[in-house]
Each structure stands twice: as C-alpha cells, then as structure tokens.
Amino acid sequence: MLGFNGGLIGGLANARNTTTLKSNPGVWTLAEQRKAIFSVPTAWPNSGVTLPAIGAEFGGGFFAGTISHTFDGVATHALIVAPRADGASGTGYTPSTNLAWKTTASSTTGTGSSFDGYANTAAMETAGLANHPAANFCRGLTINGFSDWYCPSLYELDIAYENLKPSTTNNNTSFGINDYSVPKRTANRTAGAPAQTSVTDFQSGGSEAFAAGSHWTSTQNDSTTAYWMSLGDGTILTGDYGVTRTSVFAVRAFRRVVL
C-alpha cells in the first residue's frame, strides 16, 4: 500500500469547479457560514436550503457537513450520509460483505477527483458499474425516496469523519489537511481533535455510527489503487484493486445538496 501525506493528493486537479452552483449563489462571508453551520435551523445564505444540526435527519439520510468545491472555504454543497441499516455494506454493517473498488487492473477515466464523489461515481457508471462493486452498491440504493446515492470522494469522507467520528480512539496525526472543508483545514489532526462526536446515534454502538474499519472512497490513485480511509482513527492509504483484488473494504453511500 502507498502512503498519503495528509495534504493535497499529488497529481489531482484543483481547478475551480462552479458548474453545479446556482446561477446567482452570492458571496457568503465567513460570519454567514459560521452562522449557517452552528445556528439551528438556519437557511444558508442565498440558497433557500435550511441546514439542520450535524447528525440530524436530512435529505434522506443524516447531515454530515458541508464541502467547498471552490476550495476557498465557501460551502457549495451539503453532504448527507446514508442510514446505516440500508446504505452501507462491509465489516461492522448489515450486510457485512466487503466490496472491491474494481474487478480489473485498469484505470477508470474520470475518477481522480479528491472532492467530487458524485462525478467519480458517474464516471464509474459510464465505464460499467458491474466492474466497480463498491460504487455499484451505492448507485443501486433507493432510500427514503432518493436514488442519487454515490460513493464519497476522499475529502467528502474525511469531512464526515471530522464531524461524526464514532470512537474515542486517538486520531492518526499524519492526516487531516483538507482544502475542501468548511472552514478549510490547513493543519493535520491532533490526537484528541476531533473528539468522538457528541451525536449519540453516531457514537460507537449507536444506531447510525460509522463502522470503525476501512472504507472505500471513490477517488482513484492510479491504475491499480484507490484511496480508502479508516473511520476509526482517520488513517488514509491506498488499496489495490488490480488483478489480485486483495483489498476489499466497507462502503457507505452519500448524497449531496447544492447550496
């Protein structure tokens, strides 16, 4: 397995992506963003979207935080994690089947985004979901009337860990920098921060808690590896999905809402 330095992924494009923004999204000050995140309920400035507290029911699942596709601290999307019982598979979940990222040793064009899991998963769908078991599981879901679930990108899953960490285990301090988080995180995690989430249902043993083991992201690294993340301590590494297909991990589906 290859390591990861906790910063931006080498070689991934960081171009500004505004194609999914509203035609007049406005400019949101840091004060407005903090108000939208920490005041409950609050309509996000200029969007009409009302964001609940972290971990609260929202959009078919549970609100996991916001992400900035423009990597400038301005939120562009709200992230929604699927209910545990229906939207996850692998060790610690029901079903408990761990899934491969891909069944062959070949690149999948369009899956290199570190922040846009929806685009990565759409690219896998175009290439053939039968060859992408983890993404295929996510795209096959219909939960609470929503069928646009996808396999989260690296930094989307990282945001969920930061906000909904299930355990009291010390964090791996080699990871945590995230240019797409809101606010932007410019330093790695400390052993104690983030602490275990205060949302009871998402704490270890709770009805919606992330399993503490390794979870796939939809972010491809190269022709035979993709990024995975431990939801136990925040470790990020790459796993093989090549001919031997030795790396099979859990996956939990996400949705997103444009702000």
Reported as a single tens digit per residue, the pLDDT across 77-123 is 999 999 999 999 999 999 999 999 999 989 999 999 999 999 999 99
pLDDT at res. 18: 30
CA 248 to chain centroid: 18
Q: pLDDT tens across 175-233, in order? A: 999 999 999 999 999 999 999 999 999 999 999 999 999 999 999 999 999 999 999 99
Q: pLDDT tens across 46-62, in order? A: 567 889 999 999 999 99
For residue 207, count CB atoms less than 10 angstroms from its CB and return exposed for 0-12, middle for 13-18, buried for 19 or more: exposed
Query: Is residue 68 pLDDT above 80, yes or no?
Result: yes
Q: What is the dihedral of CA 122, 216, 56, 20, to 10 degrees?
A: -30
- Return d(Cα 229, Cα 156) in angstroms, integer: 11
pLDDT at res. 44: 53
For residue 239, count CB atoms less than 10 angstroms from its CB and return exposed for 0-12, middle for 13-18, buried for 19 or more: buried
pLDDT at res. 31: 52
Mean pLDDT, all residues of the chain: 86
For 8, the token pair is 């931006």
Confidence bin at 9 (pLDDT 50/70/90): very low
Q: pLDDT tens across 134-149, in order? A: 999 999 999 999 999 9
Identify which has the larger pLDDT, 4 or 219.
219
Are 165 and 176 in contact by the 8 Å Cβ rule? The answer is no
pLDDT at res. 242: 72
In this prediction the pTM is 0.83
Nearest to 194 by CA among 172, 229, 165: 165
Q: Which whole-number Å values give the CA distances from 109 to 123, 158, 171, in the listed order?
A: 7, 23, 33
Give the CB-side neighbour count of residue 34, counting CA atoms within 13 A. 4
Domain boundaries, the chain: 30-258
Confidence bin at 33 (pLDDT 50/70/90): low
- Return d(Cα 138, Cα 143) in angstroms, integer: 11
pLDDT at res. 27: 46
For 88, the token pair is 């996850």
48 CB-near residues (< 8 Å, 6+ apart): none
